[in-house]
A and B are shown apart, each in its own frame.
Chain A
Amino acid sequence: DTAVSQTPKYLVTQMGNDKSIKCEQNLGHDTMYWYKQDSKKFLKIMFSYNNKELIINETVPNRFSPKSPDKAHLNLHINSLELGDSAVYFCASSPGQGFEAFFGQGTRLTVV
Chain B
Amino acid sequence: GQNIDQPTEMTATEGAIVQINCTYQTSGFNGLFWYQQHAGEAPTFLSYNVLDGLEEKGRFSSFLSRSKGYSYLLLKELQMKDSASYLCAVRDGDYKLSFGAGTTVTVRA
Binding site for B on A (CB under 8 A): 33, 35, 40-45, 48, 56, 90, 97-98, 100-106
Within 8 A of A (CB), among B58-108: 85, 87, 91, 95-99, 101-102, 104
Please pick, from A43, A98, A100, A103, the residue contacting B30 in the complex, using a CB distance under 8 A. A98
Q: Is B27 an interface residue (CB 8 A)?
A: no
Q: Is B7 an interface residue (CB 8 A)?
A: no
Closest to A33 in B: B97
Asked if B96 and A98 make an inter-chain contact with CB atoms under 8 angstroms apart, the answer reads: yes
Complex Cα distance, B44 from A102, in Å, reads: 7
Asked if A42 and B33 make an inter-chain contact with CB atoms under 8 angstroms apart, the answer reads: no
Closest to B98 in A: A45
Asked if B41 and A43 make an inter-chain contact with CB atoms under 8 angstroms apart, the answer reads: no
B: interface residue count bin: 20 to 34
Asked if A41 and B96 make an inter-chain contact with CB atoms under 8 angstroms apart, the answer reads: no
Asked if B42 and A48 make an inter-chain contact with CB atoms under 8 angstroms apart, the answer reads: no
Write out the residue numbers on chain A whose beta carbons fall within 8 Å of the beta carbon of B98. 44-45
If A35-B99, A98-B95 are given as contacts, then 7 extra A-B residue pairs at C-beta distance below 8 Å, sorted by A number, are A41-B37, A41-B102, A45-B99, A98-B30, A100-B48, A101-B45, A103-B44
Write out the residue numbers on chain B whose beta carbons fall within 8 Å of the beta carbon of A103. 42-44
Within 8 A of A (CB), among B27-62: 30-31, 33, 37, 41-45, 48
Q: Which interface residue of A41, A42, A56, A102 has the most chain B CB atoms within 10 A?
A: A41
Complex Cα distance, B43 from A74, in Å, reads: 19
Asked if A98 and B43 make an inter-chain contact with CB atoms under 8 angstroms apart, the answer reads: no
Asked if A104 and B42 make an inter-chain contact with CB atoms under 8 angstroms apart, the answer reads: yes
Please pick, from A44, A98, A100, A105, the residue contacting B41 in the complex, using a CB distance under 8 A. A105
- Least CB distance from A105 to B in Å reads 5
Write out the residue numbers on chain B whose beta carbons fall within 8 Å of the beta carbon of A98. 30-31, 91, 95-97
Given A98-B30, A98-B31, A100-B33, the answer on whether A43 and B95 have CB atoms closer than 8 Å is: no
Closest to A4 in B: B42
